[in-house]
């Protein structure tokens, strides 16, 4: 998801709902007090990304050729995300063209801009998840508070605690369609899970994701056989997962989204954001959002999650229609249960974009916005989607934890949220997982 902070005011209340759809919980073989290895999977934009240019790169301006990145020659690897110089308008365009993906209809896959190489540093470690820019820790902190809380439990980087950063611009596609970058990440994550388990006496692994990371984890689980899941997965804990996408993505596609970064012209980054395969994946799921629910309203037309093809055409992005119809719709239509224990922890009660009103029908303008419930980024119906999607499942354990007043990203640093997360991890490690049909609040 696009990570947006919302100031939280007041005392948070925690509501826990346990949906027990199985008689037996999958529990590993560790003794009381021992730690199962834990892997952190970040959300969209939640880890560092590096770039490098070669001779194929054709800059759009002299500035992009000679001055960006600031103070560095374009001959080696440089920080692509997050670089603070992006807030300066001439450099915003350079950043956008280097982050842009291109869909190739003949190859049916997404690729970088020609001449732009990218890499994800520190795979396997939590290093690139702590801060998006280690030189700007005070404004680019991400998972540092969460990691600190886990370390107080006894977790140690590279021993029992691991990180799985990825190129968050890329997503996944439905079966039968290539998705080279996203599929490689799933393969790397699977290998990391097996290595973490083997290096910890064969204990199954706890997967702890944030936002978009939860969608990747769920795909990893359902794309591997039950025998593998039973052997290697102890529990899946998903924070702020956008199971049904988010209305905020329609705002991003229509008008561009600065994500709270000051001084940035949203129209300069709109094309790059539209090109993102993962953003296409995160558009509102028509199976989760009702067809009668108006999301975008113009003088001539109203769009719901079921009108996405028309929406993409009318905003001036017809090239997104084919990959959306062929690669994304089949992927989001069938969200299977993985048959491993799943806990969803989410913020609620934060005003979240619900409806966009374009008075002139011009998507270059900033719309009027009405708000509803959610975590400030993801709508409540999406956060809770697994409850409805899996209600007929007879062998799936699902626990839902709602934390009032906590936003999409503050869940990673809010004291109440961190206590809830750490408590859940402790319970999983001690086998004190919830029993049948527990429903309580506190």
Distances (CA, A) of 262 to 9, 86, 170, 369: 22, 10, 25, 20
The count of C-alpha atoms lying within 13 angstroms of the C-alpha of 102, restricted to the half-sphere facing its C-beta, is 11
Rounded Cα distance between 233 and 239, Å, is 17
Distances (CA, A) of 203 to 31, 199, 289, 332: 10, 9, 39, 32
Q: Which residues are catalytic?
A: 211, 375, 408
Strand partners, 296: 303, 356
Rounded Cα distance between 96 and 93, Å, is 5
Rounded Cα distance between 324 and 327, Å, is 6
The count of C-alpha atoms lying within 13 angstroms of the C-alpha of 18, restricted to the half-sphere facing its C-beta, is 15
Distances (CA, A) of 234 to 35, 157, 202, 205: 11, 19, 11, 5
User: Which positions ≥6 away from 396 have C-beta within 8 Å?
Assistant: 21, 22, 337, 338, 339, 342, 390
Instruction: Count other C-beta atoms under 10 Å from residue 183's C-beta.
Output: 16
Rounded Cα distance between 343 and 345, Å, is 6
Under 8 Å between Cβ of 37 and 205: yes
- Residue 261 phi/psi, 5° resolution? -75, 125
């Amino acid at each position: 998801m696009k990570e947006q902070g919302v100031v939280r005011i007041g005392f948070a209340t925690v509501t826990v709902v346990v949906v027990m759809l199985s008689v037996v919980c999958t529990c590993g073989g560790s003794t009381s007090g021992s730690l199962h290895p834990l892997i952190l999977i970040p959300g969209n934009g939640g880890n560092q990304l590096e770039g490098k240019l070669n001779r194929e790169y054709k800059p759009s301006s002299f500035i992009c050729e000679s001055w960006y990145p600031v103070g560095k020659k374009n001959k080696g690897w440089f920080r692509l995300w997050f670089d603070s110089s992006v807030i300066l308008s001439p450099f915003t365009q350079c950043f956008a063209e280097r982050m842009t993906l291109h869909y190739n209809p003949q190859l049916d896959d997404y690729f970088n801009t020609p001449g732009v190489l990218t890499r994800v540093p520190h795979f396997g470690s939590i290093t690139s998840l702590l801060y998006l820019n280690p030189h700007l820790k005070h404004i680019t902190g991400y998972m540092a508070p969460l990691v600190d809380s886990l370390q107080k439990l006894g977790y140690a980087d590279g021993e029992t605690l691991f990180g799985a950063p990825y190129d968050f611009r890329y997503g996944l596609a439905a079966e039968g369609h290539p998705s080279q970058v996203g599929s490689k990440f799933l393969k790397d994550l699977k290998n990391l899970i097996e290595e973490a388990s083997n290096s910890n006496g064969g204990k199954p692994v706890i997967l702890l994701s944030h936002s978009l990371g939860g969608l990747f984890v769920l795909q990893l689980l359902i794309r591997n056989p039950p025998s593998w899941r039973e052997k290697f997965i102890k529990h899946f804990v998903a924070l702020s997962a956008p199971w049904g996408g988010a209305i905020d993505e329609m705002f991003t596609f229509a008008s561009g989204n600065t994500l709270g970064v000051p001084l940035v012209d949203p129209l300069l980054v709109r094309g790059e954001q539209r090109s993102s395969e993962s953003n296409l994946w995160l558009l509102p799921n028509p199976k989760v959002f009702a067809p009668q629910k108006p999301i975008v309203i113009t003088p001539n037309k109203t769009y719901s999650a079921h009108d996405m093809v028309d929406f993409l055409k009318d905003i001036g992005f017809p090239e997104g229609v084919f990959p959306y119809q062929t690669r994304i719709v089949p992927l989001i239509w069938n969200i299977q249960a993985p048959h491993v224990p799943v806990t969803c922890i989410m913020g609620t009660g934060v005003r979240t974009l619900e409806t966009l009103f374009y008075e002139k029908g011009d998507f270059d303008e900033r719309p009027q916005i009405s708000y509803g419930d959610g975590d400030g980024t993801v709508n409540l119906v999406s956060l809770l989607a697994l409850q409805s999607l899996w209600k007929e499942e007879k062998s799936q354990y699902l626990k839902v934890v709602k934390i009032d007043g906590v936003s999409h990203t503050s869940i990673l640093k809010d004291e109440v949220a961190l206590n809830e997360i750490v408590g859940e991890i402790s319970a999983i490690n001690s086998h004190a997982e919830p029993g049948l049909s527990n429903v309580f609040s506190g």
